């Protein structure tokens, strides 16, 4: 058995897969970030408790290898004694605008606010005292992997969300520029980069104790720890040029593997890599399903209401969603230039305020910002032949249809789509034994099941485009709300 674990924004999920690469057991631990002292964070105690919970739900006695994936980016800085210097700052924070802009200008390469180097430089700009004591920085996946193996390594996909990558390593010219700017040698504090197929250490006794695993598993190999973007690409078999995938959960992001570099720099587009090191254009939006979750919970307080009902109702909305506008911004959204989030419901006295129209508006709001970013990528003539979705959003056909309509491209899902990154990291573990093949060839052998493909619907395209125009016009309301409330 192979154990794959992913620490997502709202769930920690674990899967066991067998020799046929079929999922035989799953486990879930729900958790949520907290806003503490101005930063979205999870405590490291919560990290361990959640991991131990999912492991305790599984029969791990026959596990022969494992891997860790987690939400990308953020800021985890440690001193020489391995002590955390400041609480974990997650990808969700939009507090690094000044640093991100300065680094983007310095490198001539887009550095989003979420990236680890932006968090570090912002801490320097803020004059934070802990910076002088930094001996090591990593991501959440890299931290857990370090606890399990003692190895300070990171998969190339996850590393590409810390600092720009070129030719399989941290961009040397940018490393030199950053050192001239700050006096910090990035290579000295960053994890070593590994690609898919490389062994990244073995489970130690301390690691087994940390995770609550039996001592019989000490010595099993681990694959390089990866970010949720990379494992999403693997889970959807979207790692070759002109393929792409969309991950939709607390955040929403699209990954498109490029067949040629983009001609222009766009601050709305991240440049990251696949777990094999291929260049990827990434449209990342901080907000997706949190507002849907909140409304489903609210309606559940007064009667039977489920996600199935929500999606069924959304498919019955009027052409203009009843002239109801919603914003799902729980946090800031760099793609649209919104610094701080305020979930909003806006309607006119004459709006048709029905359940179907509200659900339709909430559904479209969850994907509107992604479409705004994708329009920039389409403007660069990026070619997309296959677009696949994964995550709970795509378990419902109405979600698939809305996404296809919003982008005007067919959207496909695989049987494993709902399992997302936990399945993806499990496959990367399995690839350790088959790395004589390319990752593309390996995944071609894995994904032989039929895909469900939804094509855009003309009326759905019209409905979404009408909504998007109103959505864009109302963004100033969203910006002003954060100033006033």
Q: Which residue has the higher pLDDT, 20 or 210?
A: 210
Whether residues 79 and 148 share a domain: the answer is yes
pLDDT 10s digits, 206-240: 999 999 999 999 999 999 999 998 998 998 888 98
Per DSSP, the residues of 380-413 read TT---SEEEEESGGGGSHHHHHHHHHHHTS-EEE
pLDDT 10s digits, 148-170: 999 999 999 999 999 999 999 99
Q: b/e for 377-404, b at 16 or more Cβ within 10 A?
A: bbebebebebbbbbbbbbbbebbbbbbb
Dihedral of CA atoms 447, 432, 219, 76 in degrees, nearest 10, equals -90
Task: Say whether pLDDT at 381 is over 90.
Answer: no
pLDDT at residue 445 in the model: 87
Give the chain's mean pLDDT: 93
* Domain assignment of residue 443, yes or no: no
* Domain assignment of residue 437, yes or no: no
Whether residues 188 and 249 share a domain: the answer is no
Whether residues 55 and 176 share a domain: the answer is yes
Query: In the predicted model, what is the mean pLDDT of residues 48-54?
Result: 97
List of residues 6+ apart from 284 with CB closer than 8 A: 112, 114, 251, 253, 270, 335, 373
Give the domain CATH number at 258.
3.30.420.40
Whether residues 275 and 213 share a domain: the answer is no
Banded pLDDT at 389 (limits 50, 70, 90): confident
* Domain assignment of residue 421, yes or no: no
Whether residues 174 and 267 share a domain: the answer is no
Q: 435 vs 1, 17, 223, 237, 295, CA distance in Å?
A: 18, 18, 12, 16, 46
* Domain assignment of residue 435, yes or no: no
* Domain assignment of residue 422, yes or no: no
Burial-class residue 483 by CB neighbours within 10 Å (0-12, 13-18, 19+): exposed
Question: What SS3 string covers 269-332?
Answer: CEEEECCCCCEEEEEEECCCCHHHHHHHHHHHCCCCCCHHHHHHHHCCCCCCHHHEEEECCCCC
Domain count, the chain: 2
CA separation for the pair 374, 246 (Å, rounded): 11
Task: Say whether pLDDT at 296 is over 60.
Answer: yes
Chain mean position to CA 152? 22
Q: b/e for 105-135, b at 16 or more Cβ within 10 A?
A: eebeebbbbbbbbbbbbbbbeeeeeebeebe
Whether residues 293 and 222 share a domain: the answer is no
pLDDT 10s digits, 333-354: 989 989 888 999 999 999 999 9
Task: Say whether pLDDT at 24 is over 60.
Answer: yes
Task: Say whether pLDDT at 249 is over 90.
Answer: no
* Domain assignment of residue 151, yes or no: yes
Task: Say whether pLDDT at 131 is over 70.
Answer: yes
Banded pLDDT at 370 (limits 50, 70, 90): very high
CB 153 within 8 A of CB 20: no
3-state SS class at 43: coil
* Placement of tokens 């924004």 in the chain: 9
Whether residues 203 and 69 share a domain: the answer is yes
* Domain assignment of residue 83, yes or no: yes
Whether residues 87 and 70 share a domain: the answer is yes
Q: Which of 174, 205, 230 corresponds to the end of one domain?
A: 230
pLDDT at residue 418 in the model: 52
The count of other CB atoms within 10 Å of the CB of residue 58 is 18
Boundaries of domain holding 253? 238-413+455-485
Q: Which of 176, 195, 230 corresponds to the end of one domain?
A: 230
* Domain assignment of residue 328, yes or no: yes
Whether residues 161 and 137 share a domain: the answer is yes
pLDDT 10s digits, 412-453: 887 655 567 899 999 999 999 998 889 999 998 888 766 788
Phi, psi of 253 (to 5 degrees): -145, 150
Whether residues 226 and 181 share a domain: the answer is yes
Whether residues 212 and 356 share a domain: the answer is no
Phi, psi of 417 (to 5 degrees): -55, -40
Q: Which of 230, 247, 276 corresponds to the end of one domain?
A: 230
3-state SS class at 66: strand
CA separation for the pair 353, 358 (Å, rounded): 7
Whether residues 177 and 261 share a domain: the answer is no
Please tell me the pTM assigned to this model. 0.83
């Amino acid at each position: 058995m192979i154990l794959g674990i992913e620490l997502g924004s709202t769930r920690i999920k674990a899967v066991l897969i067998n020799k046929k690469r079929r999922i035989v057991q799953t486990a879930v631990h729900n958790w949520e970030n907290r806003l503490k002292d101005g930063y979205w964070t999870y405590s490291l105690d919560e990290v361990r408790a959640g991991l131990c919970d999912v492991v305790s739900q599984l029969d791990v006695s026959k596990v022969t290898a494992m891997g860790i994936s987690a939400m990308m980016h953020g800021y985890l800085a440690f001193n020489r004694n391995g002590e955390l210097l400041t609480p974990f700052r997650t990808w969700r924070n939009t507090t690094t605008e000044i640093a991100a802009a300065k680094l983007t200008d310095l490198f001539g390469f887009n550095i989003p606010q979420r990236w680890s180097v932006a968090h570090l430089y912002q801490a320097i700009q803020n004059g934070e005292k802990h910076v002088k004591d930094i001996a090591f920085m990593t991501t959440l996946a890299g931290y857990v992997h370090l606890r399990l193996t003692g190895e300070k390594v990171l998969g190339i996909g996850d590393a590409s969300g810390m600092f720009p990558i070129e030719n399989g390593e941290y961009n040397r010219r940018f490393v030199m520029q950053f050192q001239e700017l700050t006096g910090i040698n990035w290579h000295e504090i960053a994890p070593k980069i590994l690609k898919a197929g490389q062994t990244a250490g073995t489970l130690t006794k301390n690691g087994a104790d940390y995770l609550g695993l039996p001592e019989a598993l000490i010595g099993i190999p681990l694959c390089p720890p990866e970010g949720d973007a990379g494992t999403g690409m693997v889970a959807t078999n979207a790692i070759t040029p002109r393929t792409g995938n969309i991950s939709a959960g607390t955040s929403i992001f699209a990954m498109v593997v490029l067949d040629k570099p983009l001609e222009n720099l766009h601050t709305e587009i991240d440049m990251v890599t696949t777990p094999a090191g291929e260049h990827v254009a990434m449209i990342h939006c901080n907000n997706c399903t949190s507002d849907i979750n909140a409304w489903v919970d609210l309606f559940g307080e007064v009667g039977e209401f489920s996600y199935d009902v929500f999606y069924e109702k959304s498919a019955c909305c009027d052409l203009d969603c009843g002239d109801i506008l919603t914003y799902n911004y729980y946090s800031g959204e760099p793609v649209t230039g919104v610094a701080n989030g305020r979930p909003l419901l806006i309607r006119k006295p004459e709006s048709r305020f029905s359940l179907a129209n509200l659900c339709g508006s909430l559904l479209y709001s969850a994907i509107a910002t992604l479409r705004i970013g994708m329009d920039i990528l389409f403007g660069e003539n990026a070619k997309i032949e296959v677009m696949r979705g994964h995550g709970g959003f795509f378990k419902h056909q109405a979600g698939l249809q809305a996404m296809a309509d919003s982008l005007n491209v067919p959207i496909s899902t695989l049987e494993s789509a709902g399992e997302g990154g936990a399945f993806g990291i499990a496959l990367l573990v399995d690839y350790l034994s088959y790395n004589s093949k390319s990752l593309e060839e390996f995944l071609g052998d894995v994904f032989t099941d039929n895909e469900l493909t939804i094509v855009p619907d003309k009326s759905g395209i019209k409905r979404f485009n009408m909504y998007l125009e109103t959505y864009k016009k109302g963004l100033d309301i969203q910006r002003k709300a954060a100033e006033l409330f």
